[in-house]
């Protein structure tokens, strides 16, 4: 099921109709889908407009009847756009008529096929007319309004005023611009001189680096020569020192053995004296224990 809405305007009878086919404009015509069981469109008839005594004539609508908007609901159960269903189009177009215009039902119409053909062509003409009107309205929306034009002119005047002021400032600043150009020339000359000095400095740094590398190479060579020249004397001195140390170590070991013997001898003599005192009852074991604990 597809649901579509058509919006058209109410017909206007106050002016003369142009030559050619009449294309009424209806306001608030809404088309929507209904249940699948519906086979034809159902139309809710519009409310009748009230008229006064002077305008209560057949086929002559009053101003109140024309100006008052109206609408109806149209339901279609077919799964296609209404414009592709000729019977639905004819049924819908049949309601776009003047007040009081007698029109038989679509089923009972003798000229059924001709009316359907006319209704389809009429619907296509209405569709083309609406598309053309929508295009014009869209273009009119893009056209600036009077107040927008006024704002644009105001902005243009302000921009022109700003441009004139800028030109005045530029003329007033002309001497300063000349002085600035002179300073720019001086700066360019100084920059050229700076580049020359920078190149000279770079060359000097390269020479210094070369001399440093040469000095380092000479120092390494001198160090290698000195190492080779002093290797044999250092080795001889180291061997002599090692012999002296070995001799001193042997003497110290001998002296250490003698010192250990003397210490053990003194210890043995002290123990003998201690036993003598114990044997002579001059020293008690408890007193000796207290003396040792005190140490």
pLDDT above 70 as % of the chain = 72
User: Across residues 80-87, what is the average pLDDT?
Assistant: 78
| DSSP letter string, 235-264 | HHHHHHHHHHHHHHHHHHHHHHHHHHHHHH
pLDDT above 90 as % of the chain = 18
Total Cβ atoms within 10 A of residue 31: 19
Tell me the per-residue pLDDT of 40-57, one tens digit each, with 9 for 90 and over.
444 444 444 444 444 444
Continuous segment of H or E residues that includes residue 130? helix 112-142
Residue 105 has pLDDT above 50, yes or no: yes
pTM of the model: 0.29
Task: Give one word for 59, left, alpha or beta, with left for phi > 0 and alpha for psi -120 to 50.
Answer: left
**Residue pair 165/157 in contact by the 8 Å Cβ criterion:** no
102-141 burial code (b ≥16 CB/10 A, e <16)? eeeebeeeeeeeebbeebbebbeebeeebeeeeeeeeeee
pLDDT at 261: 84
- For the chain, the average pLDDT equals 74
Q: Which of 19-28, 100-109, 118-127, 276-285 has the lowest mean pLDDT?
A: 19-28
| DSSP letter string, 164-177 | HHHHHHHHHTHHHH
Tell me the per-residue pLDDT of 241-285, one tens digit each, with 9 for 90 and over.
888 888 888 888 878 888 888 888 888 888 787 777 767 766 666
């Amino acid at each position: 099921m597809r649901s579509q809405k058509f919006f058209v305007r109410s017909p206007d009878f106050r002016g003369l109709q142009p030559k050619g086919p009449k294309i009424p404009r209806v306001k608030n015509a809404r088309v929507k889908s209904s249940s699948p069981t519906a086979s034809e469109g159902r139309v809710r008839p519009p409310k009748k407009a009230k008229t006064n005594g002077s305008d209560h004539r057949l086929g002559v609508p009053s101003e109140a009847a024309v100006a008052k908007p109206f609408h109806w609901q149209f339901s279609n159960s077919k799964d296609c756009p209404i414009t592709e269903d000729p019977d639905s189009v004819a049924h819908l177009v049949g309601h776009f008529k003047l007040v009081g215009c007698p029109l038989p039902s679509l089923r009972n119409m003798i000229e059924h096929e001709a009316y359907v053909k006319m209704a389809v062509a009429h619907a296509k003409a209405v569709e083309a007319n609406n598309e053309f009107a929508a295009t014009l309205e869209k273009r009119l929306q893009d056209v600036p309004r009077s107040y927008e034009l006024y704002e644009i002119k105001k902005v243009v005047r302000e921009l022109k005023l700003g441009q004139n002021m800028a030109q005045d400032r530029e003329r007033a600043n002309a001497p300063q611009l000349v002085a600035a150009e002179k300073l720019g020339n001086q700066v360019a000359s100084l920059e050229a001189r700076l580049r020359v000095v920078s190149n000279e400095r770079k060359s000097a740094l390269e020479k210094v680096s070369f001399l440093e590398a040469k000095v380092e190479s000479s120092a390494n060579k001198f160090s290698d020569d000195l190492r080779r020249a002093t290797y044999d004397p250092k080795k001889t001195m180291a061997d002599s020192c090692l012999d002296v140390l070995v001799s001193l170590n042997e003497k110290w070991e001998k002296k250490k053995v003698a010192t250990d013997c003397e210490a053990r001898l003194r210890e043995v003599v002290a123990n003998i004296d201690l036993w003598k005192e114990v044997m002579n009852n001059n020293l008690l074991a408890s007193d000796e224990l207290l003396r040792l604990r005190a140490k």
